[in-house]
Structure 1
Amino acid sequence: MNLVNLESVSLSYGPKPLLRDVSLGIESGDRIGVVGRNGDGKTTLISVIAGLVAPHEGRVTHNRGLRVGVVAQADDMAPALTVGDVVLDGRAEHEWAGDQGIREILANLLGGIDLQARAGELSGGERRRTALARVLIGDHDLIVLDEPTNHLDIEAIAWLAGHLAGRRSALLVVTHDRWFLDAVSTRTWEVVDGAVHRYEGGYAAYVLAKAERARIAQATEERRQNLMRKEIAWLRRGPPARTSKPKFRIEAAQALIADEPPARNTVELLSFASARLGRTVYDLEQVTLHAGGPGQGPLVLDDCTFQFGPGDRIGLIGVNGSGKSSVLRLLSGSVAPDAGRVTRGRTVRLAHLSQELAELDPTRRVLETVEEVKQFIKVGKREWTASQLLERLGFRGDAQWKVVGDLSGGERRRLQLLRLLMDDPNVLLLDEPTNDLDIETLNELEDLLDAWPATLVLVSHDRYFLERVTDRCVALLGDGRLSLLPGGVDEYLQRRSAGTALTARTASPAAAQAPAAVAEAAPEMSAKELREAQKELSRLERRLQRIGEQEASLHAAMAASASDYGRLAEMDAELKSLASERESVELEWMELAERLEG
């Protein structure tokens, strides 16, 4: 049964049609993610479906008695109401306190918020959590969410995805968070040029299906061009010769990426980064840091030793308030540690994108603002002009000539990021760079960062972006350490769920498996000996990683050469040699670890 039907709906704001003759429906149990570029009409579409906006043409029909819960980008909370008034809607304490479902929602969304606090005193993130809790506590047939993950940390996003996936109500969600889309949606709608294209599956399935559509469209266009050329030739030469019909083969989705190289050439990037940076980027030695200054605010780092090396691509994870931005400010030099030492490489050229927007001249044009930094820059092996990079980050055509004072907050953030990149830094500190970026622009930014030969430290609640552009994750778990996470975000969530903190590992990120003993080595070892031990563990870890990659490559080659017995025998001998080498390296690693423990 359809809960909502749209029949030939059209709606325009100014000369641009956002919806043009759109007909679609939402059935009971549908879980739909809505994607598209900023300004193409995603919010307009869900507002029409929810009944908040009337179309200019066409008809919207709701099933009788339909209960719709909406979380919009702007909330309608009365400032004088308490959080409890907004969320619980007059429920008696014994009623909601005795409901396990309500208690779970309150614990995961409002755990740090006083129910007696006034709505007018809440921060943006607290207001978003309050609005979500209000809708999730209710009983709805259709839940409509517009950017629900804004202001939520990775842990809260993971909980929200699990909660929504377990509800029986239909779901319609607009979000730029691609991991969240994959976790909650079974269908995807793309709003583009006034139309709504529908795809089965979440974000990953949508990307594959869209790529296949594009491939088929390209093949169709090539065939049309070929037929046109043949027709012209026939008109010029007379009757055509007998020819066979062209054959087009539709490949499976996996064939679309079969010959696609990895997103980043890690070896090449590391080589470039090392040439630009040398050996030292940042070395933290026994650093203590408080978020509010020496001895003030929460403790972020406590006697912490850590190394950031050339070409490292690190995602920094932690709950809101754990001190992620403080660590970036420590690396940028804008704050000093309470104790300990931060050694910065002599060749470091830093770009730090903070959450605060730098002041820009409001009278200048967008393109002029970028070109005053540089007019062109070389990224990897390609040279880009300021105008080309602006287009990649969403400033297309006339948008490059807009006055800075007329830009939205998201546009100013994109502009600030581009100005930083145009200065050709070799160290990038990025604090929530994805705020207000649509998926298409996120893809362009990811592609740009893939070719950037720099050390990258990223803070982001966008899990997909975090895992896409970084190679390793480091967490602030409240124990005063920078804790390496070999298992990435999944390991972080497991540790948080279990209520335990990872033991800090203070080697370089390449030594992700190094034991905790390195952080607390035997007291009789000097600082120099400790550093040498850490370097040796890092070398052994890198060798083990390379052996693992070689073994995986050989296994794949053996599978592809199953009928070539001679080649199989050669590869089997190589595997045995690698296994022997791995055992030797592992033994050396264990002996060094035991010596440090002793």
Structure 2
Amino acid sequence: MEIESKYHISNFIPDDPSTRRFNGPESITGGDTLVIEGMRGEHYDELSLSIHPGSTTVVIGDYYQARTEIIHDIADAARSGDNKNVSMPRGTTIEYVTPAITEVDDPTMTLRDYFLQARSIAGYEQAMAELWATGDPSDIDEAGRMQQKFEDAGGWTADNDIEQIIAGLRIRSNDHDTVDLDTPVGEMSSGQVSKAIIGRALYSQAGVIIMDDPSVHLDVHSKDWLAGYVADSKKAMIVSTSDMRFAEDVGTRVVEVLDTGLVLNIGAGVETYSAERKRLIDGWIEEAERLKEDIDKKRVHIRDFLGPAAEKTDNMAQVLRREKTNLARMEEEYEAMPGRKLIDARNKRVKQRTFAAGRRSGDIVETVENLVIMYDNEEGETTTIEVPHLDVRRGDKLAIVGPNGSGKSTLLKAIAGRTDDMMIDGMAKQGASVTMEMYSPYTTLPNANYPLRVLLGESASDPMGILQYWGFDKQDHYDATPEDLVHLDEIARAQFALIMARRPNLLILDEPTSYLTPKYQQRLADAVRSYDGTLLVVSHDPYFLQELDLTGVVNMPGAGRTDF
């Protein structure tokens, strides 16, 4: 959707040179590591794909069952070695990581041995020691070969390499955590084990690493480290993810599964991806519409002309039979077209929903005076943010903008009263009759055993309609509790559904598009644009901000305000 803007998009492009984008295909080198041809599943249509060393294919889409099935099918087919749809060079090995795996086969194994097992280093070391110990000259050559394998597998630097991965994934949860290389895996928490499973796959010598939603188990710092590791890796990677920010960081190729089961296979940067996605979908729809128009014309021709004429002559009866056969062939062709599915989905459009203020707030929604915020950053250093003055008035729609680390999200947290991890001096005061709701990628759903429809029904007159708008349109969705939702995109959409049901008059959004696919990013923008309350938003996505009909920006650091 094109929105005419009264300000230029450059207002919202961060001046941080590390703006997140899909990596371009120039990073791909070498021949194919994995080739997939004509693979189909229960939840997705045909997939053909070539995976190269040094590339990362991200599988995205709202249809998480299809995402997971694709990843599982590729892993199963590659490991079995006898699937006609998947081929890879002899000797290529794979590692498969899924959220369903939270335990290891031998919990008595130390963390060091668990990692070393992925490269057979312990086996080489033991064999080498045994051969040298015999003192038999005939074993010297074999011992030398074992030593060479040990060195090639990184045996001499193993502890250091493993420690780097442990630190990057933050398997040690804090400075007081006693987990080390000699800790039995069975003594670690489930979250630590999940991180160790990811780390072991990265440490392995597998040519292909396949991961299903790896960021589900990771905090923001671990996820950022993993994104950097994957982006720099020379291995071939296939990653299914519900985290669009993570996908942008690591992906060299995009595979998107649509709700219809159609698979879009796009190798492109983020701008080209969006344009190519639109080109493919529009092309499929136009092709199907042309054929449907021909079918409709032929039906009318048969009904109004050939049918009556066939009753008069044998020749026309023969023509009628031939045209009916042609019509049946055209109808069969239409049913198989991807555009037909897209047209059907388009015709089942969900009713537009919007965020709405349940009651009117006072004229002044938030007042900030001489605010000083101090908190420890990820390096353990104390960071200070100063906001001399900021007034937020009823009806304001403000984007908080500025470079990374300037305090945008921290200011939102202070305004929302989420100050447990910071020290505050000065004033951040809400005005009269303010009802506030905040979305953040780190906000959790209510810890409740009630279905989502019941939780929404406490505040909304039409909970089912809101759930449908956010993609919870199947019976199992209606009965799902917050604990049933494990994928990040599902959790984010459920949070937006709850906020919409509660009808706040102050809406605070911190990186709201991080876990949303393009379809739901658009739905969020549509719902926020017509919001009749007060909005404060931080987003790394300037295109999303451009669609919100903002009234101004607050520039960080300093919180200088510019109204449009």
Indicate whether the TM-score tops 0.5: yes
Query: In 2, Cα distance between the equivalents of 1:141 and 1:238?
Result: 64
Q: In the alignment, what sits opposite 2:368?
A: 283
| Residue in structure 2 matched with residue 307 of structure 1 by the alignment | 390
Separation in 1, partners of 2:475, 2:244: 29
Aligned residue number for residue 402 of structure 1:
479
Distance 2:95 2:512 in 1: 30
SS in 1 for 2:215: coil
Identity of aligned residues (%): 21
In the aligned structure 2, how far is the partner of 1:84 from the partner of 1:232? 71
Q: Note if contact 1:288-1:303 (Cα within 8 Å) is conserved in structure 2.
A: yes
CA deviation string 1:489-508 (max 9, x = no partner): xxxxxxxxxxxxxxxxxxx9
8 Å CA contact retained: 1:125, 1:150 = no
1:18-37 counterparts in 2 under 5 A? Answer: 18=43, 25-37=50-62
Supply the distance in 2 between the matched residues of 1:50 and 1:432 (Cα, whole angstroms).
33
Once residues 280 and 151 of structure 1 are traced to their aligned partners in structure 2, the CA distance between those partners, rounded to angstroms, is 37
Instruction: Show the counterpart of 1:48.
Output: 73
TM-score (norm 1): 0.55
Match of 1:358 among 435, 441, 446: 446
The C-alpha deviation readout for 1:139-187, integer Å capped at 9, x for no partner, is 3311222223345566655554444333332221112333443443333
Matched, 1:448 2:514: no
Aligned partners of 1:405, 1:511: CA distance in 2, in Å?
36
Map residues 26-175 of structure 1 onto 2, 5 A cutoff.
26-51=51-76, 60-73=86-99, 74-77=101-104, 80-87=108-115, 89=117, 95-96=156-157, 105=165, 108-110=168-170, 115-116=180-181, 119=185, 126-150=192-216, 152=218, 157=223, 159-175=225-241
AA matched with 2:390: Q
Write the distance in 2 (CA, Å) between the matches of 1:84 and 1:143: 20
- AA partner of residue 307 (structure 1): L
Partner of 1:176: 242
Seen in structure 2, the aligned counterparts of structure 1 residues 391 and 58 have a Cα distance that, compared at 3 Å, is farther
Query: Secondary structure in 1 aligned to 2:274?
Result: helix
Q: Match for residue 460 of structure 2?
A: 374
How many residues in Structure 1 have an aligned counterpart in Structure 2?
A: 424
**SS at structure 1 position matched to 2:180:** coil
Aligned-partner SS, 1:396: coil
1:445 positional shift: 3.2
Superposed CA offset, 1:519-571 (max 9, x none): xxxxxxxxxxxxxxx8xx64xx65xxx7xxxxxxxxxxxxxxxxxxxxxxxxx
Deviation at 1:389, TM superposition (A): 2.7
Kept after mapping to 2: 8 A contact 1:282/1:331: no
Task: Please point out which of 272, 279, 297 is paired with 1:205.
Answer: 272
Alignment partner of 1:388 out of 465, 489, 513: 465
Q: After superposition, what is the alpha-carbon deviation per residue over 1:116-149, rounded to whole angstroms, capped at 9, x for unaligned? A: 4564565666555433432323333112222233
Measure the CA separation in 2 of the matches of 1:51 and 1:232: 46
Q: 1:326 to 1:356 in 2, by over 3 A?
A: farther
Q: Say if 2:402 and 2:556, in contact at 8 Å, map to a contact too.
A: no
Report the secondary structure of 1:41's partner residue: helix
Question: Structure 1: any 5+ residue segments left out of the alignment?
Answer: 12-16, 240-268, 292-296, 376-384, 472-507, 515-533, 547-598
Structure 1's 174 and 8: CA in aligned 2 closer, same or farther, altered over 3 A? same
CA distance in 1, matches of 2:81, 2:155: 43
> Within 2, Cα distance between the matches of 1:35 and 1:24?
15
Measure, in 1, the Cα distance between the counterparts of 2:361 and 2:443: 27
How far apart are residue 418 of structure 1 and its match?
A: 1.4
CA-CA distance at 1:103 after TM superposition = 7.0
Q: Distance in 1 between matches of 2:483 and 2:229?
A: 39
Structure 2 counterpart of 1:481 = none
Measure the CA separation in 1 of the matches of 2:257 and 2:516.
Answer: 16
Q: Name the CA distance, whole Å, in 1 between partners of 2:190 and 2:437.
A: 27
**Contact map agreement 2:399 2:553 (CA 8 A) in 1:** no
Q: Secondary structure at the match of 2:242?
A: coil
Superposition map of 1:550-565 within 5 A: none
Q: Cα deviations across residues 439-464 of structure 1 (Å, max 9, x unaligned)?
A: 644553344334435555568xxx86
Q: Give the Cα separation in 2 of the matches to 1:82 and 1:415.
A: 39
Secondary structure of the equivalent of 1:145? strand
1:331 aligned onto 2:408 = no
For structure 1, which segment, 176-185 or 62-71, has the greater mean C-alpha deviation from structure 2 after superposition? 176-185
- Aligned-pair CA distance for 1:350: 0.7
The whole-number CA distance in structure 2 between the counterparts of 1:512 and 1:51 is 49
Alignment partners' CA distance in 2, 1:235 and 1:9:
39
Matched residue of 2:65: which SS? Answer: coil
Tell whether the 8 Å contact from 1:355 to 1:431 is kept in structure 2 after alignment. Answer: no
Contact 1:357–1:412 (CA under 8 A) maintained in structure 2: yes
Contact 1:357–1:416 under 8 Å retained in 2: yes
Q: How well do the aligned residues superpose, as a CA RMSD in angstroms?
A: 5.0
Secondary structure at the aligned position of 1:168 is classed as coil
Separation in 2, partners of 1:155, 1:45: 28
Decide whether the 8 Å contact of 1:9 with 1:57 is kept in 2: no
8 Å Cα contact 2:367-2:430 kept in structure 1: yes
SS at match of 1:198: strand
* Residues 438, 508 of structure 2: 8 Å contact kept: yes
Asked whether the 8 Å contact 1:290–1:338 carries over to 2, the reply is no
* 1:220 match: 287
Is residue 367–residue 401 contact of structure 1 (8 Å, CA) maintained in 2?
yes
Residue 423 (structure 1) aligned with residue 490 (structure 2): no
Contact 2:401 2:408 in 1 (8 A): no
TM-score normalized by the length of structure 2? 0.58
Deviates further, 51-60 or 221-230: 51-60
Deviates more, 1:211-220 or 1:74-83: 74-83
Shift in Å at residue 88 of structure 1? 5.1
Deviation track 1:378-428 (CA, whole Å, cap 9, x = no partner) reads xxxxxxx54333122111143564264884355576445312222221223
The answer as to whether partners of 2:40 and 2:47 remain within 8 angstroms in 1 is: yes
- The aligned amino acid for 2:524 is L
